[in-house]
Amino acid sequence: MSPAAVYVVDDDPLVTDSLSRALELETEWRVLAFNQGALALAAMPDVPPDVVLSDFKMPGMDGIAFLARVRAAHPDAVLLLLTGYADKESAIRAINEVGIWQYVEKPWDLGDLLVKIRQGLERRALVVELRASNAELVSRLDELERAHVELVRAERLAAVGRVASGLAHEIGNQLALVGYAEAIRDRTREPEVAEFAEVIVAAQRRLAALVEEIKDFARGAAAHYPREPGDLAAAVEEALGILRFDAEVKTRRVSLEVRSRPLALLHRGKIEQVVVNLVHNAVQASAPGGEVRVIVDEDADGPLVSVRDHGPGMPPEVLARLGEPFFTTKERGSGLGIGISRRVIDEHQGRLEVRSRPGEGTEVIIRLPPLHVGTVGI
């Protein structure tokens, strides 16, 4: 460690000279002497003080006012006040008000002064060490709290996943029977019966899609599926091609803008699933005739896909719960779509960003890591 920087401040040059020489002879400290508090303050940014020894009565700025300014700028510095016997009461008050370590009566005893300075430096070192230990403890407690929250969340998701898996299995078994409605629709010659059967078939398709969502959610752990370098824009175009037959999509204006065709390491089917889900959500958030913009681009962080609607947007409390299992603000929906999409993007080492404000619509951005030269499928 470098030698302690000790400031000696007194308006009497004889005092500063004699005290500085005595400290330099007896210690390894770096001693800086000043006859005005303002000059000492001006030097402190370049040489931060470890110890400041100041006279009490000085013209312009007295010792207490000077040390108070030192305390504000250098809270860990050891402060000592040189005072006469008549000013002892003021010195004691300064200890309480300013945080001065000790006062030293004139004429001083060099041995006693050195003891007080060394004790102050030891106390300062202890305080600094305790502060660092406390900061580390707070950091560890924060880590523990985050780990606890994550553990509780993981346990809750696992429990929900087990229940969801069982429900999906039972619902799937019953949906097989509902499939007879399609045969009735195709074989009947009664228009009304065919219409009713079509309603049942449409409901069966929605339920089947819901079952698949629940199964995806119930799998829980990260999936390991092959990813290969691919054209991200092509995957988005394929997803929009799938959606062109959707009844709700037909009543909105879905536009695609391909600003670049970045390559990314991806599982094409999974990325298409995410885009379908996000665009479908944006369509449902938009009024009939409303516009949904899909943009494929890349920036300094890598390839991206943006899905933007001009719907009602979401308040912060809803945005905070987005992706929570079975939480949804829609009349129809499982609340699993965003959670599953986020998991798929996480498995691609990317991230899903959601930006939304009430009355300003919502933008969801898929960000994938850049594809480096020489990358192969994994």
* Report for 293-297, 332-336, 339-343: range of highest mean pLDDT: 293-297
In three-state secondary structure terms, 348 is coil
CATH 1.10.3470 fits 145-218, yes or no: no
Average pLDDT, the chain: 80
Q: What is the pLDDT of residues 52-92, one digit of tens each?
A: 999 888 888 888 889 999 999 999 899 998 887 556 677 67
Query: pLDDT, tens digit, for every residue of 118-130?
Result: 998 998 888 888 8
Pick from 203, 152, 149: which is nearest to 179 by CA? 203
Tokens, residue 29: 């400290």
In contact, 342 and 350? CB cutoff 8 Å: no
Pick 5-108's CATH classification: 3.40.30.10, 3.40.50.2300, 2.102.10.10, 1.10.1740.10. Answer: 3.40.50.2300
Q: Which of 35-49, 72-86, 158-172, 181-195 has the lowest mean pLDDT?
A: 158-172
Distance between CA 283 and CA 280 in Å, rounded?
5
Query: Residue ranges per domain, the chain?
Result: 5-108, 145-218, 228-367
Question: What is the pLDDT at residue 306?
Answer: 95
| Structure-block tokens of residue 138 | 């707070």
CA distance linking residue 65 with residue 289, whole number of Å: 71
CA of 190: how far to CAs of 181, 182, 184, in Å?
14, 14, 10
Q: Any idea which of 231-240, 290-299, 323-332, 367-376 has the lowest mean pLDDT?
A: 323-332
Residue pointed to by tokens 């054209």: 231
Q: Looking at residue 304, what is its pLDDT?
A: 94
Which residue has better confidence, 131 or 165? 131
**What DSSP string runs through 282-308?**
HHHHSPTT-EEEEEEEEETTEEEEEEE
CATH 3.30.565.10 applies to domain 228-367 = yes
- Confirm whether 5-108 and 228-367 share one CATH topology: no
